[in-house]
Amino acid sequence: MSKRHNWSIPYFVFMVLFVVLPLLLVAVYAFQDGNGRFTFANIVRFFSDSNALSTFALSIEVAIENTVLCILIGYPAAWLLANRKYNRSAVTIILFILPMWINALMRTLATAELFNILGVQLGKGTLLYGMVYDYLPFMIYPIYTILQKMDKSYAEAAEDLGATPSQVFWKVTVPLSMPGVRSGILMVFMPTVSTFAISEFLTNNKIKLFGTIIQENINSSMWNYGAALALIMLLIIGISTLFNKNDGEEAESSLI
């Protein structure tokens, strides 16, 4: 027993070194001024900085838009992929997942170049395009997995009780696939809030997102304010994760 227990030590060390310590560092920096003294000034600064606040609001807005678009495009795609009538091969699924194997930065650069060649004006449209392109597989995959595993007898039972195929879809398939949609939201919404590369390349920094501001602060050696911003973002992500774990029907409907 005790020997087995020892096997967890390397993982424990890893967690401390690469997860807990950096997080503590962020927290410590966030509550220090340039001279290493304890202060709330960084946090206060954020809440009184209208520029930072509006960027934050915009980030959330873009993240929500991106998530909604990913659901609208990803759900039907996942449904078609999971339906044996329309898709009989694993290759199509791999094709959908394939972009995930290529570094997101490279894909974003390539997309930017493509817009450049086509002469498309960079702006919010191109930003959302890039985000949906990058994050769509993260929405499709969890929904696909849950739809594919779903016991077919639920749909049959509904049909048996008089539901037309579209009623079966809305009254049984969609509610039962909600856990998939929820984890899709987690995997799309959270990372979009903190993204900065996509906005940098696909809007030429015309649109700044929250991640961009953190990056700029850190790049210009304003470690403490950057850390405070990162901490605030972490808290928001953390809260929405907890919110999701509550597993209540309210949680999912409010997130959608």
Instruction: List residues binding another protein (CB under 8 A).
Output: 151, 153-154, 156-164, 167, 171-172, 175-176, 178
The least distance separating another protein from the CB of residue 179, rounded to whole angstroms, comes to: 10
- Listed in sequence order, the residues at least 6 apart from 74 whose beta carbon sits closer than 8 Å to its beta carbon are 136, 139, 140, 143, 184
User: Residue 100: enclosing H or E segment and its boundaries?
Assistant: none
What type of residue sits at position 108?
A: T
Decide if 210 contacts 53 (C-beta within 8 A). no
Burial call 61-99: b when 16+ CB within 10 Å, e when fewer = ebbebbbebbbeebbebbbebbeeeebeeeeebeebeee
The token duo for 38 is 């304890």
CB of 249 to another protein, least distance (A): 9
* Cβ distance to another protein smaller for residue 123 or 175: 175
For another protein, the closer CB: 159 or 216: 159
Tokens of 166: 């579209």
CB of 221 to another protein, least distance (A): 52
CB of 161 vs another protein, minimal distance in Å: 4
**Cβ nearer to another protein, comparing 81 with 158:** 158
Complex with another protein: residue 160 or 250, whichever CB lies closer? 160
Helix (H) or strand (E) holding 43: helix 41-48
Count Cβ atoms within 10 A of the Cβ of residue 238 and give its class: 0-12 exposed, 13-18 middle, 19 or more buried: exposed
Distance separating alpha carbons of residues 157 and 163, to the nearest angstrom: 9
| Nearest-approach distance from CB 171 to another protein, in angstroms | 8
Q: Could you tell me the smallest distance in angstroms from the CB atom of residue 252 to another protein?
A: 11
- Nearer Cβ to another protein (177/215): 177
- Count of beta carbons in the 10 Å neighbourhood of residue 231: 19
Please report how close the Cβ of residue 93 comes to another protein at its closest, in angstroms.
24
- Report the 10 Å Cβ neighbour count for 30: 23
Token pair of 121 as six digits = 């004006």
Can you state the percent helix, strand and coil of the chain, rounding each to 5? 80, 0, 20
Q: Is the Cβ of residue 134 or residue 252 nearer to another protein in the bound state?
A: 252
Looking at the Cβ atoms of 10 and 162, the one nearer to another protein is 162
